[in-house]
Amino acid sequence: MQVWHMNGAGNDFAVIDARKKQYDFAKLSLKLCKEFGADGFMAIDDSDIADFKLHFYNADGSRGEMCGNGARCICRFAYEHHVAGESMAVETDAGLVYGQRLDEIQYRVQLNLPDVLDLARKEDCAYVELGNPGVPHAVKAVTGLNWEQREELRKMAKSLRYDTAFPKGANVNLYDWISEEEIRILTYERGVEDYTLACGTGSASTAVVLWKSGQMKKNDIAIHNPGGVLKVSLQTDGKEIRGVFLEGPTEVTEIRETAYLL
């Protein structure tokens, strides 16, 4: 089996082509994420409604609804395996996602619209799900946030991840403003059970919260993750969000042959 180790702004994945094959994805995700030290596992499969289907699993073997950086990486994987062209449609558990190759490294995806959006789900913590079923995200401002505070903030982040206000659990996105068009973010991810270097749906969910709460001056925002900068662009009609786009770098860090029994 050929496995690609890829990352999007540091958010890394073990990726395979599973078309015409039968695998136990949950077991495979545990094996490969441990072997590669990856945040998640992805496989492409045949689809009747899109160019291909994305199977996404977290490092703990749980299936995820979708992954923004994963979607950008899987679009590059599909393009370089001649599964799709420069524009493509991806079937995910959260609905169809549309991808675009911008250049050799940069990829953009149109994420699912927010199906659930509650700006005050828990005190000063908002809640967002992109898609239906959507990836659950809690969004909370932390004044003076810097990434060196990760251990200091771990107890709070872990507590919010399991808080009963979020029945599905939640990825926890802590943020602070850098300028009127930039924020810094730190995400504690469900399924990884730790901080990750970047979270695409977390970055997009945070942008959605900021726009809906009237804090964004424009419809584009640069989001500084520990692993790199992601750009989120929103299409709006003045009152509602009509499109959510995530753009950023992708990287192939290793291609390895590994054994796996069917």
Residues forming the active site: 67, 199
Alpha carbons 192 and 119: distance in angstroms, whole number: 25
Residues in the chain: 262
Nearest to 252 by CA among 65, 20, 122, 81: 81
∠ CA 128-25-166, nearest 5°, is 20
Alpha carbons 244 and 230: distance in angstroms, whole number: 13
DSSP, res 78? H
Q: In degrees to the nearest 10, what's the CA dihedral of 221, 222, 227, 228? A: 140
Q: Please, are residues 248 and 230 in contact by the beta-carbon 8 Å criterion? A: yes
Where are the extended beta strands (E) located within the chain? Answer: 2-8, 11-17, 40-45, 52-58, 87-92, 95-101, 106-111, 114-122, 125-131, 134-141, 171-179, 182-189, 194-196, 220-225, 228-236, 241-249, 251-257
**Residues 6 or more apart from 254 whose CB is under 8 A from it?**
4, 5, 36
Alpha carbons 36 and 39: distance in angstroms, whole number: 9
